Amino acid sequence: MSEQMTAKVDVDLAQPSILSRRNPLRYVLLLAGLAVVVMLPYWIYPPVAMDILSWGLFAISVDLLLGFTGLLSFGHAAFWGGSAYCSGLIASHFGVPFPVAVLGGALFAMLIAWPIGYLSVRRTGIYFAMVTLAFAQMLYFVANQARDLTGGENGLQGIPRSFFGIDAVENDPFYFYYAGAVMILLGILLAWRVVNSPFGRVLTAVRDNPARARALGYDVERYKITVFVISAGLAGLAGGVFAISHQFASLQELMWTTSGKVVLVTVLGGIGTLWGGLVGAGVVVTLEDYLASSGFEGIGLITGTIFVVIVLLFRHGIWGTARNVLRRYVLERRQKSRD
């Protein structure tokens, strides 16, 4: 590789594109998003609002791998469900405030992610997806057999959500939403910081051309393992908040269908957009809640149809398509102002 090409790639990895520079529109969208988070429990049932945020962070954790590193994981239910059980057990047996229990669950997810990632990242494409799926199914089997600890098919019930002795948060889902939302927002902030850092730009280079990244001296496998562990931690954070919110953890959280659902949510919102996970979660969770409350039994049929329509008509997902329209608008305005 020539010195000019090497220098060009190094610049690309070190600096964001012109479209990612700060502009007022970004701050407007950020404030609008925060306003939605604050007002959400006033518009819909607070536990459903909490589910949207939890699934949104879960989808963001998957997008870190799929959209920014090019790794499709079908085993992320292991970290979501593993953290749900671990957080529930910590809260039940030690009586600690639920943020401590959730952080313990996220740490557990990261600990089991390291050996899984170490054995998985050397595979690519469908082989990586199948290896992660196999590990998730192994954890599902272990949880099902350890009935004395996990409750087996009955699940882990009656998980307390202690919050430093504040009764309003512990007993009222409305106030619990805001306490849990803070943890979810911190997870989203971490994901945003990872993506908008030199580390995140190396991940993009690994996704686009791993051979060239290796030629530049980057340890591709090490970067993949690191982002895999970070992604698992975010999924664990979301799973822990989800379990504490429902005061229940079940085998459903570890099933392969959960991994499939979060991939659907990620694609629906838009791969490689980060914020698309929240949009996709809002659509899927709200739709499922509405159909379930109306007594409709074919929920999977409706959500699957919407997924197919979105993929066919909006190739970049809901938020990805909206982002592209906004980018074109901003570029056209800039061009007109220069002319």
> What's residue 334's pLDDT?
73
**pLDDT digit string, tens, across residues 291-320:** 888 777 777 777 778 778 877 777 788 888
User: How far is the first Cα of the chain from the last one, in angstroms, to the nearest whole number?
Assistant: 39
- For residues 103 and 223, what is the distance between their CA atoms, to the nearest angstrom? 23
Top pLDDT among 216 and 12 is at 216
**pLDDT digit string, tens, across residues 98-142:** 999 999 999 999 999 999 999 998 887 888 999 999 999 999 999
Rounded mean pLDDT, 253-278: 91
> What's residue 16's pLDDT?
40
From 4, 114, 54, select the one nearest 241 (Cα to Cα): 54
Top pLDDT among 313 and 257 is at 257
- For residues 94 and 13, what is the distance between their CA atoms, to the nearest angstrom? 45
pTM: 0.89
DSSP code at position 156: E
> What's residue 295's pLDDT?
73
Top pLDDT among 29 and 97 is at 97
Residue 10 pLDDT > 90:
no
For 127-148, b/e burial (b = at least 16 CB within 10 A) is ebbebbbebbbebbeebeeeee
Rounded mean pLDDT, 172-185: 94
> What's residue 1's pLDDT?
39
**pLDDT digit string, tens, across residues 279-292:** 999 999 998 888 88
Rounded mean pLDDT, 175-201: 94
> What's residue 22's pLDDT?
55
> What's residue 66's pLDDT?
93
| CA distances, 322 to each of 68, 270, 275, 300, 331 (Å) | 19, 10, 11, 26, 14
Top pLDDT among 156 and 165 is at 156
- DSSP track, 183-229: HHHHHHHHHHHHHTSHHHHHHHHHHH-HHHHHHTT--HHHHHHHHHH
**Confidence grade of residue 14 (pLDDT, cut at 50, 70, 90):** very low
> What's residue 7's pLDDT?
37
Residue 79 pLDDT > 50:
yes
The CATH code of the domain at 18-338 is 1.10.3470
> What's residue 339's pLDDT?
65
